[in-house]
Amino acid sequence: MIIEPIVKGVVARNSHPAGCKQAILNQINYVKTAKPIESGAQKVLILGASSGFGLASRVSLAFGGASADTIGVSFERGPSDKGVGSAGWYNNIYFREQAEQAGLIAKNFVGDAFSPAMRAQVIEYIRAEFGGKVDLVVYSLATGIRPNPETGEMWRSSIKTVGEPVTGPTINIETDTMEQMTVGTATEQEIIDTEKVMGGEDWESWIEILSEAGVLATGCKTLAYSYIGGKSTYPIYHQGTLGRAKTHLHTTSDKLNEKLSAIGGSAHVSVCKALVTKASVYIPAFSPYILALYKVMKQQGTHETCIEQMQRLFSERVYTSGVTPIDSERLIRIDDWELDASVQQEVDKLIAKITPDNFAEVGDYEGYKTEFMQLNGFGFAEVDYQTRVDFDSLTQLQP
């Protein structure tokens, strides 16, 4: 069969395996030539390893100097009668192939990272086949639902404001149009539920359970990712429900840092740059900011994608010979280039100009859309999309 992209709104409904492989190769090639991680993690567990920042962390730690063995947990769909499957499914497979060719362990667990069963499987694997301990745990889940571990009922996050509603334009990738929409105000319950899904509770629980199981090495570090963003985005992000959840994550990192200090370890949150990922395109009224940011950072030569961000994080922040640089709230700032004053000034000017008629010229819509399509394996010059893909051989591929 020939695989054509299917996009509904801002959600990709399929992926191209050959393009996913190309994306993995490109990320590996990048970190091999970038400033290396001098010495760092050897045994890493990544929760949310199949795309975005989690995948980039995995590639960076394996191929960017540290030669780490990795365990990746993710929630992805393989090929079935419903279709070819998700990009993350193939990312897991092709990452493992490349890592194994390089003599590294790359174990994939596909399933619900929130479940007790997943914790048990991962611990069992660490003990039996991964040398008994991990020295880094990366928490990079992004999702809209989390089961309550006590009742099994679902908490659902809401991407809403706290206080006043905000009306702003948002991109529809399917139709290449910008539509006005209103981001409503969250109820108290919606704020709490969003904290449950995207805050630090599950991260803390993972670290507790790994610690009790005795599988955290002396000096073990843990990291989670956050976003703060430019002032123009505060009403929809930093001061909204997602920002509340991130504040909870930051507080959790302080707690975990205390806990891990007992074994000479640490916990940090790294604040990252706004990027096109499966998760971020979903944030209403956020796209004009990303369009403007991409335009300005590309002009200034400071644009990074997930892989550049993660390689810089590990080589210049987390695994440096000195102490990890942090801000007054103990956050690692790898969003420094995004928040550069000259960048933000230019971004504000562009956002003021963006309308549904001119967004593709004023902002970097081409870059936005290209990155989105490539996340799903489409639009790589190196891939011949007219070559037929054999569905049966796809079903033979195992994570």
In the complex with Na ion, the residue whose CB is nearer, 53 or 337, is 53
Beta strands (DSSP E) in the chain are: 7-8, 11-12, 43-47, 69-74, 106-110, 134-139, 145-147, 154-156, 166-172, 177-183, 216-226, 266-271, 332-333
> Least distance from C-beta 5 to ligand NAI, angstroms?
17
> Least distance from C-beta 278 to ligand NAI, angstroms?
4
In the complex with ligand NAI, the residue whose CB is nearer, 133 or 333, is 333
> Least distance from C-beta 212 to ligand NAI, angstroms?
21
Instruction: Please pick, from the candidates 57, 69, 76, 155, the single residue that binds ligand NAI as defined by CB under 6 A.
Output: 76
| Alpha-carbon span 333 to 327, nearest angstrom | 7
Site string for ligand NAI, 250-279 (x = CB under 6 A): ----------------------x-xx-xxx
The β-bridge partners of 225 are: 270
Residue 75 in contact with ligand NAI, rule: CB under 6 A: yes
In the complex with Na ion, the residue whose CB is nearer, 64 or 288, is 64
Of 30, 139, 225, 237, catalytic? 237
Cβ atoms 217, 127 nearer than 8 A: no
Instruction: Please pick, from the candidates 97, 112, 304, 340, the single residue that binds ligand NAI as defined by CB under 6 A.
Output: 112
113 binds, among ligand NAI, Na ion, none (CB under 5 to 8 A by kind): ligand NAI
- Which DSSP string do the residues of 40-93 spell out, in sequence order? --SEEEEET-SSHHHHHHHHHHHHSSS--EEEEEE----SBTTBS--HHHHHHH
Phi first, then psi: what are they for 105, rounded to 5°? -80, 135
80 residue type, one letter: S
Phi first, then psi: what are they for 23, rounded to 5°? -60, -40
Residues 337-396 that bind ligand NAI (CB under 6 A): none
Phi first, then psi: what are they for 45, rounded to 5°? -110, 125
Residues 121-140 that bind ligand NAI (CB under 6 A): 140
DSSP 318: I
User: Is residue 385 annotated as part of the catalytic site, yes or no?
Assistant: no
List of long-range contacts for 394-399, beta carbons under 8 Å, 24+ apart = 394/17, 394/79, 394/84, 394/85, 395/78, 395/79, 397/17, 397/78, 397/90, 397/93, 398/93, 399/76, 399/78, 399/89, 399/92, 399/93, 399/96, 399/108, 399/109, 399/110
Region near ligand NAI per CB under 6 A, out of 25-33, 71-79, 352-360, 391-399: 71-79
Residue with tokens 């334009």: 169
Residues 6+ apart with CB under 8 A from 367: 294, 295, 298
Q: Judged by CB under 5 A, how many residues of this single chain contact Na ion?
A: 5
Instruction: Please pick, from the candidates 5, 19, 40, 52, the single residue that binds Na ion as defined by CB under 5 A.
Output: 52
360 binds, among Na ion, ligand NAI, none (CB under 5 to 8 A by kind): none
Token representation of residue 181: 């929409």
β-bridge pairing 216-226 and 134-139: parallel
Residue 53 in contact with Na ion, rule: CB under 5 A: yes
> Least distance from C-beta 246 to Na ion, angstroms?
15
> Least distance from C-beta 158 to Na ion, angstroms?
21
143 binds, among ligand NAI, Na ion, none (CB under 5 to 8 A by kind): ligand NAI
> Least distance from C-beta 67 to ligand NAI, angstroms?
22
Site string for ligand NAI, 167-206 (x = CB under 6 A): ----------------------------------------
92 binds, among ligand NAI, Na ion, none (CB under 5 to 8 A by kind): none
- Which DSSP string do the residues of 92-125 spell out, in sequence order? HHHHHHHHHHTT--EEEEES-TTSHHHHHHHHHH
Cβ atoms 136, 144 nearer than 8 A: no
Token representation of residue 244: 């509340």
Question: What is the number of other CB atoms lying within 10 angstroms of the CB of residue 214?
Answer: 11
> Least distance from C-beta 75 to ligand NAI, angstroms?
4
Residue 53 in contact with ligand NAI, rule: CB under 6 A: yes
Residue 140 in contact with Na ion, rule: CB under 5 A: yes
Instruction: Report the binding-site residues for substrate.
Output: 227
Could you list the residues known to form a binding site for NAD(+), using ranges.
48-53, 75-76, 112-113, 141-142, 246, 275-277
Residues that bind ligand NAI (CB under 6 A): 48-54, 73-76, 88, 112-114, 140-143, 225-227, 272, 274-275, 277-280
- Judged by the rule CB under 5 A, the positions of this chain that interact with Na ion are 48, 52-54, 140
